[in-house]
Amino acid sequence: IGSVDVQATTAMLSHIALEHSLKTSLAEGRNRLHTAAQQIVQAYNMTPTAEALQFLPLYIMGMLKSCAFRGNAPDITADIRTNIWMRLETLSVSQLAAFYYPRMMALHNCPGTVGVPDDSGRVTLPDMLNLTSESMTQDGVYL
């Protein structure tokens, strides 16, 4: 349990919930995600050394809040939800993880090497921050 790949497990749970939602209903897909989160929390409580498990409920909550699984959302029509589901089916593991748990970059305090190509032509990006109010300052610029 200690070697769980959180992003791969998130992608697998996403695909399972999408498939279940298509076969039954959106509410059933959401219920399956809730059940998975409960089981993961129980497994983590039994094995507190498996630190990777503590992040899975965070990704699952991101799934439940996303436009793909948000229940009773009047702004998400069937066409839009279908488009989102089709898009999620084609995303890579890292892209799925970023979709469900987005990050931000602080642009106001970047060192001089950020955003400039190095000798091999690679551009260094700013450090990724968690998308929380604690990561932000009132006078900052974020992407």
pLDDT tens, residue by residue, 12-58 = 999 999 999 999 999 999 999 999 989 888 888 887 777 777 888 88
**pLDDT at res. 54:** 81
**pLDDT at res. 1:** 59
Nearest one of 37, 94, 91 to 63, comparing CA atoms: 37
As to burial, measured by CB atoms within 10 angstroms (0-12 exposed, 13-18 middle, 19+ buried), residue 66 is middle
CA–CA gap between residue 85 and residue 64 (Å, rounded): 13
pLDDT at residue 2 tops 70: no
pLDDT at residue 59 tops 70: yes
- Taking the model in full, what pTM does it have? 0.78
